[in-house]
Amino acid sequence: MWGLKKVRVIVYTDSGPLHDQFRSGKAQTDATMQGVLEWYIQEMRILGADLQWIARSKNVANVMTKCALPGGEMA
């Protein structure tokens, strides 16, 4: 679009269960979450994005995407 190059999108998560469910394509909780997971996988494929697991100690952002310094999180 508009002559721009595509960039590789990588979504990092420190959630092992999320990563496992994304890779297997099967929700571990209940049937209602299966639809959400399938939608998420579909959207990630459309974007050409990849989900990668990262150790929590290496994750530089908390759930609110605020800076998290080694040894503690900023509120």
Instruction: List pLDDT tens digits, range 23-67.
Output: 999 998 888 899 999 999 999 999 899 999 998 878 776 666 655
Residue 75 reports pLDDT greater than 50: no
Residue 41 to residue 39: CA distance in whole angstroms? 5
Q: How many other CB atoms are found less than 10 A from the CB of residue 46?
A: 8
Read off the pTM: 0.66
Residue 23 to residue 14: CA distance in whole angstroms? 14
Residue 25 to residue 36: CA distance in whole angstroms? 11
Decide if 50 contacts 66 (C-beta within 8 A): no
